[in-house]
Structure formats: C-alpha cells, structure tokens
A and B are shown apart, each in its own frame.
Chain A
Amino acid sequence: MIRLKNLTVNIDGSRILDDVNLIVEPGQIVAVMGPNGSGKSTLAKAIMGDPSLEIHGDILLDGKSLNGMPTNERANQGIFLSFQNPPEIEGVKSEYFLATSFNKEWDEITEVSKKLGITPELLSKDLNVGFSGGERKKMEMLQAILKNPRLVILDEIDSGLDIDAVKLVSKFMKTMRTQNQGVLIITHQTSLFDNIRPDKVYILSKGKIVEEGGPDLLSKLNDFGFEGWN
C-alpha cells in the first residue's frame, strides 16, 4: 500500500530522517517506535507532503509516487494524519468544520462523537481552541473515523487519552485491519499495544531505522527501553 523508499528529510539544512525504508501493506498495523526527537513526527508529515520539509527519495502509494503532490490531494487519495499537536483554528466552529469539510450527515457526526465522549458543547467551540490535550486527540480520532481513510497515520494518538478512548483507538485499528486498510502508528510507548498486536515494528533512532521486526520487538523494548539501540 504505502512504501517509503530511501526517504531522507532535511529541515533548514539539518538531516532529520536518513535513508528510511518502510512498508505498510493493506490490513496491516505497523508501529514506528522511537524516543522523542528521533524524527517520528517528521516521518508522518513527510508522508503528508508538508511543504516546509526538504524531501528526497520516494513515497509510493500503490506503486505511484506521491512526490510533489499537495497535502490536500494526498488526503483525498485516502491518507489521514492524526496530528501529535493539533493546532487551534480560531473562528472555525468544530461542528461547522466537520459538517462542511467532511461532508458527513449530522447523525453520523453526533453518533461517533458520543462514543468518543465528545460533548455537544465541545463541538460548538472553535476547532481545538482551548481544548485539553485529550480533547484534541479525541477530535483527531473523530475526524479519522469520519474520513475512513485507506491509510491512517496516528502520531502519538494515545498521549492524553483516557482508558475508554484508548480502547476506542484499538477498536478503530481493528476495524481498519478487517477492512483491509492500513495503520501506521507512531508512538514512544508500548501501552497502546496491550489490546492489539501490531504486524510489524520499526525502531527509529536519530532519524534512522535501526531495527525492524515482528511484535516480539515490543517485549524487547519493554525490557530494555530505547537505550538498547543507542
């Protein structure tokens, strides 16, 4: 489904990602694990085509290169990025944003919101403005579910979420898997995988993939932490 081939990314001349190779097949849940500052969020934004990044190498979706494609078109090709730090969008009401930009029926929006514990009051506020960390993540989940993308990239989705919401994230990933869609989950902790085993794990350190393997890598991580790869 998505393939990163020799992906190298610079920001203002300094190298953030170095020759990264990564594959997510349909129906797979793939984890990218790494400590803070290892380049995880940059990886997510590179796939989304952030114009502020200097990108070398290839990002292929179903074998076709996404190089040079604007972010919104990548989104329309079925890639969804759940942001680690969703920004505040002043003057744009959440419910208005969901109804117009997502083109969804109001019933569906309220139903999913309810499951996620998003109150109508929150929906009536400007998008992410004054939201707590957890509320922002729930709003990202709500949008991911409504978009029903082919590939979802979840960047530190679990930080700030309560147990019920984390369960919902797991459930969402399972659904994605059964629908033969892809999940690329970026995180620095293993707790999210208590309920669901990833198919593949990549360890990212200082911009490089230092190890790749099956879910067993998680127990190694739990035992030794990221220190083992330094």
Chain B
Amino acid sequence: MDFEFLKERERRYWFKSKERSEFQVKGPLTKDKVLKISKFKGDPDWVAKSRIKGFDFFKKLKMPKFGPDLSGVDFEDLIYYSKPSDKARKWEDVPEDIKTTFEKLGISGVEMKMLSGVGLQYDSEVIFEKAKKGLDKLGVIYMSMDEAVKKHPELVRKYMGKIVPPTDNKFAALNNAVWSGGTFIYVPKNVKVPFPLHTYFRINLEGFGQFERTLIIVEEGAEVTYVEGCTAPLYNKSTIHSAVVELVALPNSKLKYITLQNWSNNVYNLVTKRAFAYSGAFVQWIDGNFGSKVTMKYPAICLLEPNARGEVVSIALVSDGQNIDSGARMIHRAPHTHSNMISKTVSLGTGIATFRGTVRIYSGAKFSKANTECDSLLIGDSVANAIPKIEVMEDTASLNHEARMGNVDKEKLLYLMSRGIDEKTAMSMLVFGFVRDFVNELPLEYALELQRLIEFDMGGHS
C-alpha cells in the first residue's frame, strides 16, 4: 500500500503555528518554577499547595514500567507553561492551501477557525453566549478550570485530586503541578442538559493546552454529554500532552464523555482519566484515538455503589510510526454493578495498536457482570496486541471476554471491488463498518467527520 498520503497529511494539516508567548516556563522543572506558574495564574492558596504536592510526587514517582517507549520524553527540555498571546491571527492570514484542504476534509466552519487558531473571538463567542444563556437558566456551571478554582472553590476542592490523586502516576503528578486550562462542568440535581457540551463552546484556547485538567460533577438524577476535541488534526507545539480528567457521577445520573484525539505525530499523549460512579449511575467513555506519536490512555470507571454501570467504547486508528496503547479499566466495588468494554483498533503500515483491558471485581461485588470485546483489524505489516487482565475475587460475578484479530477480509474486498468500487474506497467502507459501534455513539456531525477522516487515512483524499 502507498502511504504517501500520510506524509501529505503531516505536511498539510499538522502545520506549525507561530505562536508568540507573553510568559513561558521551561524545564528543568523546580519548585520555584511551579510557584512562579501558580503566582502568574493567581491561584488560590490551596491550589498552590496542591501544585507543590504534585511536584514532589512527580520527582518521586518512576516512569511507567509497561507500555510504549517513552525515552523520547525529555523533561529537562519541556515547556511547562506558556500563556498564549492574546493577539488572534486572522482567518485571512491562514494559507490558502490549508483552507482548501480543511474544506476538503469537510471540517465545519467553527472547527476550522478554531484549528487555525482564529475566529474564537467571533463565531464561537456567539455560539457560546447562546449556549451559556440556556445553561445559566438550568443552573449548569460550564467554564475553564482556571476560572472554576477561583469562582467555585468549594465545589472544585471537594473532588479535584480525589478521583485521580497526584500519587497515581508520574504524569498525573506532573499535571497536578503545572496544570492549566481544561474544563469544569457542574450539573445540578435532576437537570438534563439537552445538548452535548462541546469544547469549542469555551472561549479560551488553553482548553487545548498540554497539561489541561478537567472535572465534571453530575448531581443525582442529572444527565450530560461532553465532547472533547475534534476529528481534525491538531498541531501541538509541545511534544507532550498530559491531561487529567476526573468524573463524578452521583446516584442515578448519566454522564457521557466523548473524546476525539487527533494530535500531530510528534506528541506523546499521556492521559489519566477516571470516573467514580455511585448508586445507579451510568458513565460512558467514548474514546477515539487517531493521532499522536505515542498514546497511553486507559479510561477507568470505579463502580462504587450498587447498580452502577460503566461502559467504554474505544477505537484507535493507528498509522505509520504511531504507537497507541489504550484500553480501559473497570473496577467493580459494589454488588450488581455492570461494565461493558468494547475496543476496535485499526492499524496501518508500521503502526502499533495495543489494547489493555483490565476488569477487577472485588469480593462482595455480588452478581456483578463484566463484558469485554476487543477486535483488531490489521492492514499491511502493522502490529496489534490485546492484553486483557481479569481479576475476579467474587464467586457470584459473571464475566465474558472476546478477542478477535485479523486482516481485511479479502473476499469482502473482492466483493466490493467487483461492484466497481476502487480498492481504497472499498477499504475505507470496510474500516468504517468495522468501527460502526463507536460511530453510533457520536453526535451526527462527528460521525460524518469521522467517515471523512477514515477515507482520508485510507488515501481517499487523492
């Protein structure tokens, strides 16, 4: 197969932006530098203290002992904080060929402008203002984390760092020390947010920063869907993206968190995501990974009280030179808890896709049920691994695990081509069919974009 289109993608879409910065903190990281960031951001005292704690553990904790090679991460040379310049570039300044290719990819106007780093002050503000009016009426809080620690300290303090503590792993600790940006959402009791909240509703660009911190709290009986990222490629000037996302789903609430990750292929994407699901609550992580050089991400759901449910539906589309190590963790700690894990990976060329699925059912989590399904599709000489880890300490629990791995079915390809469809289109039809479960979980406009992305990755672009 011809992978020329991947180079083309790199050249065209992961273009570098010439961002000027007013304030920057470069490695090696010290306690003083952490405090400097804290002071610059005007943190409340408790945040400053928590940053120091994060820094201490960052120093103490070792690199992960499993997964992809992270020796390319140079902590000494990283930029840990950078305040983006307020001067927005103009849409007119974006090179013509990039505009055209955005259009070819079918990226919506809003996203297009966001990607090129312009326009947020214009279009997005209008959308955001409209959405915000509706949200205010419902009592929903939706703002950046930076703002939330100042405006709603009591709410944030109650949960921040409780779901993912700084002691969890080296990268979570680092995030705790230098975090900036990210999203805070609070949905009051019994409020059902009638539309998905998208990242691009929020005005500040820092949402796409390298150490973002997100916290979502859904009160009893409330419901919300959050969409993070977009299907379009995103250039990150830094080589590391290390976010922490904490979700709290209180009794009988529903929380659906959709991620579409398409970092450029120089980025180490090392993210810690975890949810606490209380009695009768339902948490879903819908996780799409398309970009990055290396990804390590295993969204977890802790089913803490009876009848809590958790679901992770993830796909990874891995092409030349990429190593995506993803999966899910389901922790059953109470009776009658249910979990469902569905993973689909597609690897192309020299890409490596690894799925790690952990299910742990503690003693006393009576009559709990867990299902895991893992499908891998290989195209070319690519590599896929499936590493399930199942620990059951409860006799009454039931468990189902399936794993399948294979190449594109030649008979299916011949069949489609015998109807006059060219090979690349036929291939992307089969791949799109393969990831259908994931697509069905997306809002329609994203489903359409994903289809274009797959066609693009299959070379349908030419």
Does A75 count as interface, using CB distance less than 8 angstroms?
yes
Structural contact, A75 and B420, CB atoms closer than 8 A: yes
Structural contact, A70 and B423, CB atoms closer than 8 A: yes
Interchain CA distance A90-B423 in the complex, whole Å: 17
Q: Provide the residues of chain A in CB contact with B429, threshold 8 Å.
A: 89, 92
Structural contact, A72 and B430, CB atoms closer than 8 A: no
Which of B412, B419, B436 is A75 in contact with, Cβ under 8 Å? B419
Does A57 count as interface, using CB distance less than 8 angstroms?
no
Q: Which of A83-137 contact B (CB under 8 A)?
A: 83, 86-92, 101-102, 126
Structural contact, A87 and B421, CB atoms closer than 8 A: no
Which of A51, A76, A83 is B415 in contact with, Cβ under 8 Å? A83
Q: Which residue of A lies closest to B435 (CB)?
A: A91
1/0 per residue B386-419: CB within 8 Å of A? 0000000000000000000000011110111111
**Number of B residues with CB within 8 Å of any CB on chain A:** 23
Size bracket of the A interface:
20 to 34
Structural contact, B420 and A87, CB atoms closer than 8 A: no
Q: Provide the residues of chain A in CB contact with B412, threshold 8 Å.
A: 87-89
Does A14 count as interface, using CB distance less than 8 angstroms?
no
Which of B414, B421, B422 is A48 in contact with, Cβ under 8 Å? B414
Q: Provide the residues of chain B in CB contact with A48, threshold 8 Å.
A: 414, 418
Structural contact, B417 and A75, CB atoms closer than 8 A: yes
Does A230 count as interface, using CB distance less than 8 angstroms?
no
Which of A70, A90, A91, A101 is B419 in contact with, Cβ under 8 Å? A101
Q: A75-B420, A143-B419 are in contact. Are A52 and B410 (CB under 8 A)?
A: yes
Q: Which of B265-286 contact A (CB under 8 A)?
A: none
Q: A76-B420, A101-B420, A102-B419 are in contact. Are A45 and B432 (CB under 8 A)?
A: no
Q: How far, in Å, is A216 (CB) from chain B's closest CB? A: 33
Q: Provide the residues of chain A in CB contact with B434, threshold 8 Å.
A: 90-91
Starting from the known contacts A72-B417, A91-B439, 5 additional A-B residue pairs (CB-CB under 8 Å) come to A72-B420, A81-B418, A89-B416, A90-B434, A126-B433
Provide a sorted-by-A list of 19 A–B residue pairs whose CB atoms are within 8 angstroms.
A48-B414, A52-B410, A71-B418, A72-B421, A72-B422, A75-B417, A76-B420, A81-B418, A83-B418, A86-B415, A87-B411, A89-B416, A90-B436, A91-B436, A92-B432, A92-B433, A101-B416, A102-B419, A143-B419
